[in-house]
Structure 1
Amino acid sequence: MSHVVRRRPDGRLILLLGALAACGPISIDMYLPSLPSLTLAFGVSSSAAQATLTSFMLGFSFGMLLYGPISDTYGRRPVLLGGIVLYALATIACMLALSIDALVLFRFVQALGAGAAAVLARTIARDAHEPTDAARVLSMLSIVTSIGPLLAPLIGGQLLLLGGWRVVFGLLTLFGVVCALAAFFRIPETWPREKRANAAVLQSFAAYGRLLRDPVVWGYLLCGGMAVASMFAYITATPFVYIEHFRVPAQYYGLLFGLNIVGIMLGNFINTRLVGQLGSLTLISSAARVSSGASLFVALASLTGWGGLWSIVAGLFLVVGVVGLLSANCTTDLMHRYPHNAGAAAALFGAVQLALGALASLAVGQWGGTGPNGMGVTIGVAGLLCYAGRFLLVRLHNRPAPDAAAA
């Protein structure tokens, strides 16, 4: 398909793209209640179990960087299909892993495949819709994507009762196969041949250099990336903080986790209603303020013990609730700033988000113990850096992109 007519928001396409984009989040969230049981199954420490999360996020980040420029050169559809097949095969390997080291490796490969679905679902949504609709479409996509993570920890907790952590990967394998079939039959090619890079694929990767020389890009990366870093610090720490430190039963962990997914959905719903009236920069600025303030509150509550569990839960609701709003607007603005390298722009943004998330996850794991202190400090630092990104955007947003002709 060499030509795609841009359209008004298409509910069926958004639903399918949302399911594809959820491959990564579901693969993380359904697995979270299993982390404490992994320490017993393999006889390892909590930090070793958390390494399976860190390796997934690193693989996810690397995969995004790989697929964006390749899709700019060869098209979206073949790259998307190849990534989803890789995801399904690696998930089977995870289910059969016999050691924690093997599971860490297979999770990395699983994430490489999931990265294709994540970055290309958003890029396809941008390709197929009018620019004025793109931020709203991506927020709608995030609402759909949030449904899976909302249910995933609840399902994962119940699967532990049925057959343990391997059953979780069995269900994820089925999900991957269904996604691959749906993408094969329903996803069109949205990047026409006449718009693809004429040069070698290595020159498509050179777009990363142009992007990273732009201080406005760094504003987007810090603003959206540090919000995600806070979220992944929460994702990595709370299975131990909630279940072991605050004694929340594993089967009910998903309820507290789902509360934050509801917050993400609410933030994205607000974005769909207001982005056309207020503009993306205003919403990014306001959401970054909320994220930074709430992050510092979580740090204070974690370090002092003030308010106990519910004080941390309340602060995390605000921290996590604006992540989708920030991601949708930062991604859309960045792709519009570099329209001929939209795949690379989306890939860079997603990869940096996941890399920062992996670093935050690693920081929490290295802190040691099951208390909330490591999570609180990590989230507090991320909040301050998110505000630094907001400062860059507010000051430099109207500056022209460098090498605009080349980009």
Structure 2
Amino acid sequence: MTPPRESAPALAPRVVALIPLVLALLSMIGPFSIDTPFPAFAEMGKALEVSSTELQLVVTAYMLAFASMSLFHGPLSDAIGRRPVILGSLAVYAAASVACAFAPSLGWLLVGRIAQGLAAGGSTIVSRTVIRDLFDGPRAQRMMSQVAVIFGVAPAIAPIIGGLLIQVGPWQTVFWFMAVLALLLAVVSAVMLPESHPPERRVPLRVGEIFRGLAEVLRVPAFHRMTWAATLVFGAQFLYIGGASIFVVDLLGEGELDFWKLFVPMIGAMVVGSLASGRFGRTFTSAQLITLGYAVSTLGAVIGVVVALTPAGSVLPWAVVGISFVAFGNGLAFPNIQMLMLDLLPGRRGAVMSASTFVTLVFNAVSAAVVAPYAGGSVLGFAVAAAASVVLGWGCWQWHRVATRRAVPA
């Protein structure tokens, strides 16, 4: 077992054991905030007098704000430390959630969602860098996989929790729950989470330095290849997440409490893949697990298209078999490709994670706003769009492998 770095703070074994849980709960804020309001859309539409198409802006506004601010959370944590960014963003997120609960119109709700998105990245993005700050080798890989497990569970449980909340209260209850969750996580983080980025490792807190760090990341070709591989393959899965209300309700004819029929098998498969990634981390390299994962995702994309061409494509559980295989492959690959990206520039880990997250979020926001409604005309439309995304992502990873082999001297 690889010990923590010498320059990292000394941690008690009990604290070390709890770090993955705390970080995973922090990282789940982002995806949790996307999916939790879905079951409340019908009630929100009636109360705010808007259509389901207009309510898609609740997702898009949040994600675009998340993407915009994600460029700065990581570099900011490189300059002032991880804890201040995490705790400050949770406080702002809680206040924004309260504002959403009091929103009298869609316009004001979107303002609150934008504020939520601006704050959510502080915990979701920066929490990933803490593991790589503190640990090396297989231990870091296993912890990243453990975080990915709970991170993956968030989209599955979010609509379930949202559905239960609107059974006991109005749609505003969903946002009150988000506010309470953020405050609880702030308390837990303040008590349990060490500062993993000591002053001697920090960069100057200057606007120019923040942009210089991002520019340094963007000059690395491997960053672009790996970021787009991860973004495109995960984008196939997010197509179903962002378009869940269309896929589950409009195409499959299910109700507001039935989102679990999509999310449980899909996210469950991703969790199993993440567990497998952690288990096989000592046997296989990260690159080998990524290659295997994306091969499985490609197989799942093909299965999804084939099933969608048959009558079974509009019937559960067959309608989600293909995307569940895609999710399993993502679970194998995603923790490992993030580890490789974080090692590209050890002094700029926050900037690396911010830039990567920005690309992923912008792509997913466009997917939710444009691709999902367009593909939403049929189950086959979803399957074909997802397959195209997976194949492009798999191609980016193969490109990276070839480029890496050519870069190694003979």
Q: TM-score, normalised by structure 2?
A: 0.90
Aligned counterparts of 2:391 and 2:61: Cα–Cα separation in 1: 26
Aligned counterparts of 1:168 and 1:75: Cα–Cα separation in 2: 31
C-alpha contact (below 8 Å) 1:128/1:190 kept by paired residues: yes
Counterpart of 1:335 (choices 327, 337, 342) is 342
Q: Which residue of 2 aligns with 1:95?
A: 101
C-alpha contact (below 8 Å) 1:293/1:383 kept by paired residues: no
Displacement of 1:343 after TM fit?
Answer: 0.8
Aligned counterparts of 1:318 and 1:180: Cα–Cα separation in 2: 35
Displacement of 1:288 after TM fit?
Answer: 1.5
**Which amino acid is 1:52 matched to?**
V
**Further displaced range: 261-270 or 388-397:** 388-397
- 1:275-334 Cα shifts (integer Å, max 9, x gaps): 221101111112112223323443454466553233321011112233333321111101
Q: Structure 1 residue runs of 4+, over 4 Å off?
A: 6-9, 299-306, 398-401
Counterpart of 1:26 (choices 21, 32, 36) is 32
**Which amino acid is 1:381 matched to?**
A
C-alpha contact (below 8 Å) 1:298/1:315 kept by paired residues: yes
Q: Which residue of 1 aligns with 2:280?
A: 274
Displacement of 1:144 after TM fit?
Answer: 2.6
Listed as ranges, the matches of 1:33-52 within 5 Å are 33-52=39-58
Aligned counterparts of 2:373 and 2:262: Cα–Cα separation in 1: 24
For the structure 1 residues 37 and 214, does the alpha-carbon distance in structure 2 shift closer, same or farther, using more than 3 Å as the test? same
Q: Secondary structure at the match of 1:337?
A: coil
For the structure 1 residues 224 and 232, does the alpha-carbon distance in structure 2 shift closer, same or farther, using more than 3 Å as the test? same
C-alpha contact (below 8 Å) 1:58/1:354 kept by paired residues: yes
Q: Which residue of 2 aligns with 1:405?
A: none
Q: Which residue of 1 aligns with 2:216?
A: 210
C-alpha contact (below 8 Å) 1:3/1:190 kept by paired residues: no
Listed as ranges, the matches of 1:3-402 within 5 Å are 4-5=8-9, 10-198=16-204, 200-299=206-305, 301-302=307-308, 307-309=313-315, 310-367=317-374, 371-397=378-404
For the structure 1 residues 4 and 266, does the alpha-carbon distance in structure 2 shift closer, same or farther, using more than 3 Å as the test? same
For the structure 1 residues 327 and 368, does the alpha-carbon distance in structure 2 shift closer, same or farther, using more than 3 Å as the test? closer
For the structure 1 residues 376 and 363, does the alpha-carbon distance in structure 2 shift closer, same or farther, using more than 3 Å as the test? farther
Displacement of 1:339 after TM fit?
Answer: 0.6
C-alpha contact (below 8 Å) 2:294/2:330 kept by paired residues: no
Displacement of 1:264 after TM fit?
Answer: 1.3
Aligned counterparts of 1:83 and 1:157: Cα–Cα separation in 2: 26
Aligned counterparts of 1:389 and 1:272: Cα–Cα separation in 2: 24
Aligned counterparts of 2:350 and 2:376: Cα–Cα separation in 1: 40
**Further displaced range: 41-50 or 187-196:** 41-50
Aligned counterparts of 2:85 and 2:40: Cα–Cα separation in 1: 31
**Which amino acid is 1:346 matched to?**
M
Displacement of 1:91 after TM fit?
Answer: 0.7
**Which amino acid is 1:115 matched to?**
G
Q: How much is the aligned-residue C-alpha RMSD, in angstroms?
A: 2.4
> Any gaps of 5 or more consecutive residues in structure 2?
1-5
Aligned counterparts of 1:377 and 1:108: Cα–Cα separation in 2: 31
Displacement of 1:353 after TM fit?
Answer: 1.6
Displacement of 1:344 after TM fit?
Answer: 0.7
Q: Secondary structure at the match of 1:18?
A: helix
Q: Which residue of 2 aligns with 1:404?
A: none
For the structure 1 residues 57 and 244, does the alpha-carbon distance in structure 2 shift closer, same or farther, using more than 3 Å as the test? same
C-alpha contact (below 8 Å) 1:223/1:288 kept by paired residues: no
- 1:70-95 Cα shifts (integer Å, max 9, x gaps): 11111111111111111111111111
Displacement of 1:263 after TM fit?
Answer: 0.9
Q: Secondary structure at the match of 2:248?
A: helix
Q: Secondary structure at the match of 2:173?
A: helix
**Further displaced range: 39-48 or 133-142:** 39-48
For the structure 1 residues 99 and 218, does the alpha-carbon distance in structure 2 shift closer, same or farther, using more than 3 Å as the test? same
C-alpha contact (below 8 Å) 1:6/1:129 kept by paired residues: no
C-alpha contact (below 8 Å) 1:77/1:187 kept by paired residues: yes
Aligned counterparts of 1:207 and 1:305: Cα–Cα separation in 2: 52
C-alpha contact (below 8 Å) 2:313/2:379 kept by paired residues: no
For the structure 1 residues 320 and 141, does the alpha-carbon distance in structure 2 shift closer, same or farther, using more than 3 Å as the test? same
Aligned counterparts of 1:216 and 1:137: Cα–Cα separation in 2: 24
Aligned residue pairs, count: 400
Percentage of identical aligned residues: 26
- 1:224-248 Cα shifts (integer Å, max 9, x gaps): 1112211221012222221232222
Aligned counterparts of 1:213 and 1:292: Cα–Cα separation in 2: 29
Displacement of 1:347 after TM fit?
Answer: 1.4
Q: Secondary structure at the match of 1:251?
A: coil
Aligned counterparts of 1:356 and 1:236: Cα–Cα separation in 2: 11
Displacement of 1:370 after TM fit?
Answer: 5.8
> Any gaps of 5 or more consecutive residues in structure 1?
402-407
- 1:89-130 Cα shifts (integer Å, max 9, x gaps): 111111111222222222121011111101111111111112
